[in-house]
């Protein structure tokens, strides 16, 4: 019997709206984020869940509460699901990076596996950390249905593993949308199958990010 993980990205937070690198900074959610959570909780209303895990950061914990709204399970904090600690990038505007940190910016955009900001974590450390967390969670909850809430960069690293890619292929993994739901299935040997990826069908159009709205309006699938 499989262990199913419903991997959820947190809702919109203030840094997403303000163009600030949030990373390990504990930012609050926006009004749009709250509306996203109202729709996310309905997505999980009839979904069987045996346990809920989340990053310790507020935007993830509030998202986990929405997932758990109709279930009343204890929400378990897993430190290693947190977002990347980007050191000197933390709390700064994205628009500043090409001028202040041109090499880091190049790596983030084109060679993410090389990203290693001053005073923070390397991408390799995140890649190792988040997958070990996933393995621990699955091993503790065999043959269960689990919700796991994390962050954009952390999830990208998880999904790089889930696709069976080495870190050097991270550029082939898309960024997942706010409150997106991805379903991973693990067998008893720990092998992973992606059953559903980056699903945002629960969100009304006005709550999608601008990039998704533009993609939909262009008629692209």
Q: Extract the tokens encoding 117.
A: 């900001």
pLDDT confidence of residue 211: 53
Q: Extract the tokens encoding 75.
A: 């929400």
Taking the domains of the chain in order of start, what are their residue ranges? Answer: 3-217
Indicate the pLDDT class of residue 107, thresholds 50, 70 and 90: very high
pLDDT confidence of residue 208: 84
Query: In whole angstroms, what is the distance from residue 182 CA to residue 215 CA?
Result: 20
Strand partners, 54: 77, 149
* Kind of pairing between the strands at 145-150 and 3-9: parallel
Residue 200: pLDDT over 60: yes
pLDDT in tens, 114-149: 999 999 999 999 999 999 999 999 999 999 999 999
Q: Is 69 left (phi over 0), alpha (psi -120 to 50) or beta?
A: alpha
**Which contacts (CB < 8 Å, 24+ apart) does range 205-209 have?**
207/32, 207/35, 207/36, 207/39, 208/177, 209/12, 209/177, 209/178
Residue 161: pLDDT over 90: yes
Residue 215: pLDDT over 60: no
pLDDT in tens, 34-45: 999 999 999 999
What is the mean predicted confidence (pLDDT) over 154-162?
98
The set of residues, in sequence order, having a beta carbon less than 8 Å from that of 217 and lying 6+ positions away, is none
Q: How much is the pTM? A: 0.93
Query: 17 or 34: which carries more pLDDT confidence?
Result: 34
Level-2 CATH architecture, domain 3-217 = 3-Layer(aba) Sandwich (3.40)
């Amino acid at each position: 019997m499989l262990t199913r993980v419903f991997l959820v990205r947190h809702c919109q937070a203030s840094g997403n709206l303000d163009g600030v690198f949030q990373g390990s900074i504990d930012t609050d959610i926006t009004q749009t984020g709250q509306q996203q959570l109202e729709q996310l909780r309905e997505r999980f209303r009839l979904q069987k869940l045996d346990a809920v895990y989340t990053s310790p950061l507020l935007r993830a914990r509030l998202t986990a509460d929405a997932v758990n709204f109709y279930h009343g399970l204890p929400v378990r904090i897993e430190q290693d699901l947190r977002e990347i600690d980007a050191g000197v990038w933390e709390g700064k505007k994205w628009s500043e990076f090409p001028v202040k940190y041109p090499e880091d910016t190049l790596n983030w955009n084109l060679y993410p596996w090389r990203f290693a900001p001053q005073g923070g974590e390397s991408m390799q450390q995140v890649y190792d950390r988040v997958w070990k967390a996933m393995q621990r969670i699955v091993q503790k909850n065999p043959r269960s249905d689990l919700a796991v809430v994390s962050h954009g960069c952390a999830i990208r690293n998880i999904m790089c593993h889930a696709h069976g890619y080495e870190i050097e292929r991270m550029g082939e993994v898309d960024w997942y949308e706010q409150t997106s739901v991805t379903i991973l299935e693990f067998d008893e040997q720990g092998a992973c199958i992606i059953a559903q990826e980056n699903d945002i069908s629960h969100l009304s159009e006005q709550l999608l990010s601008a990039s998704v709205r533009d993609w939909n309006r262009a008629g692209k699938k």
